[in-house]
Structure 1
């Protein structure tokens, strides 16, 4: 896991927890000088901020979860497209077929390396570059055969699946780099700080440290914010889209290779 991401999540948790504790102590100090109408206003503000926080958390988690689901689906689609291309390569002339299938096996290795690279930018760049080079070589072989047999239906099927394979590589890259707007994340944390702060202040006015309201709820809110941030960083976060489909394809190809 990326240390910078972990540090960011820890800072968010600490800020939210600190807001609740500081506000609680402020409420204690103001308890004797706060009349009932003021307490009622604080309760109203507390309900409003918690309601707004609930809406924002739901919205942010929904966005992040949707992108996570998309990333998983794209990986499966990409593995299926590569597998289909590998099978349809049997339609090619013998020499081109063997070359293409070797290149496709290497391409799967490159895509697996892209996944395993995580947040290592040098490894990600190297794997992406290798994949692009292999795409060009595979496409060049397909172009050569297509020119020799332009009316071949089997060749058209092969080119279609190959084109889909290349498109899905780009789609996977885009899915992995789509982020929640920074403005939304900052606003989410700000509302969380205000909501937990108002709750802590309200508890302070009662003179009792309610464990659930002052500590447990802020911790849960902080964890929810941390999960949103984690889902927004698929290469270095704890929650990552599994590439089991690509691993199975790699193993299947390895077992079939001479």
Structure 2
């Protein structure tokens, strides 16, 4: 079972848990009405504090998830730019050294476009990562040999090496960004506050002799769905909100290299 399936099950559990706590709170409230003749004072104050904290926590986690979602998408474009710049600078190398490097770049770009596809299979992702590292090593070694050739321009090394460095470094940046998520305790706190809020709302609903299932279900659905969307955006290769379409920029770059391979 992958993370999104776990999140889906947890969200469904939270939904029914909130309905249960709404009912528990209502029954506690009914018990107080019968025994005390009214509800306890200060419940509204406690309820306001809980929901203020819950709203603040949701706002921060949602904002962070959306920001990381966009960062991951923009990094794909940055990597395509880095690869494209390094590829263009192959023109500085001797003509005899270019065909092999262009082929390596073509294979490397295609691999980077596919590297995070089917992210549920982490073994396959790791295999593609290892393969991309091997291709990086080959590109680096061949480029250094070509830049040091007697017929290579003096500035070839100075211009090509920084571009290759940037192309290689951004792969580490992308990998680390995929691992960057809020601590688990944040999501546990969100679930806890949602349940406590449901308990307090249920308690106040005891003043109404008729149970409103519409309000109960709507509240539980909205809160659990909001938390699910946050989790879904944190893992943009697994859920409904994906950045897979952004990989097209790498595929387009690879396609632009194809004519050079047939020269």
- Give yes or no for TM over 0.5: yes
Q: Which runs of 5+ in 2 are unaligned?
A: none
CA contact (8 A) 1:19 1:196 kept: yes
- Provide the TM-score with structure 2 as the length reference: 0.88
How many matched pairs?
256
Tell which deviates more after alignment, 89-98 or 27-36: 27-36
Give the equivalent residue in structure 1 for 2:106. 105
1:178-214 CA distance string (max 9 Å, x none): 1111111111111111112221232234223334541
**Cα gap change, 1:143/1:208 in structure 2, threshold over 3 Å: closer, same or farther?**
same
Q: Give 1:26 deviation, angstroms.
A: 4.4
Please give the secondary structure, in 2, of the residue aligned with 1:206: coil
User: Scaled by the length of structure 1, what TM-score is found?
Assistant: 0.89
Contact in 2 for aligned 1:203/1:213 (Cα 8 Å): no
Residue matched to 2:11: 12
Deviation (angstroms), 1:52:
1.0
CA contact under 8 A between 2:54 and 2:190: conserved in structure 1?
Answer: yes
CA contact (8 A) 2:111 2:132 kept: yes
Paired residues of 1:21 and 1:200 also in contact (CA < 8 A):
no
Please tell me whether the aligned partners of residues 199 and 214 of structure 1 are also in contact (alpha carbons under 8 angstroms). Answer: no
Shift of 1:235: 3.1
Structure 1 CA distance for aligned equivalents of residues 101 and 158 of structure 2: 16
Task: Please report how far the alpha carbon of residue 61 of structure 1 lies from its aligned counterpart in structure 2 after TM superposition.
Answer: 0.8
Q: Does residue 239 of structure 1 match 2:238?
A: no
- Give the secondary-structure state (helix, strand or coil) at the position aligned to 1:207: coil
What displacement does 1:4 show?
A: 4.5
State whether structure 2 residue 184 is matched by structure 1 residue 182: yes
Q: Determine the structure 2 residue equivalent to 1:89.
A: 90
> Cα RMSD (Å) of the superposition?
2.2
Question: What's the CA shift string for 1:51-76, capped at 9, x where partnerless?
Answer: 11100000111111111111111111
| Equivalences for residues 210-229 of structure 1 within 5 A | 210-211=212-213, 213-229=215-231
Which residue in 2 is equivalent to 1:131? 132
Matched, 1:254 2:258: yes
In 2: Cα distance, 1:232 partner to 1:47 partner? 28
Q: How far did 1:9 drift?
A: 2.5
**Paired residue for 1:160?**
162
- 1:13-32 counterparts in 2 under 5 A? 13-28=12-27, 29-30=30-31, 31-32=33-34
Q: Is the 8 A contact 2:92 2:153 kept in 1?
A: no
Q: 1:147 and 1:158, CA in 2 relative to 1: closer, same or farther beyond 3 A?
A: same
Report Cα offsets for 1:57-104 as digits up to 9, x if no partner. 001111111111111111110011111111111211122211111000
Aligned equivalents of 2:215, 2:46: Cα separation in 1? 15
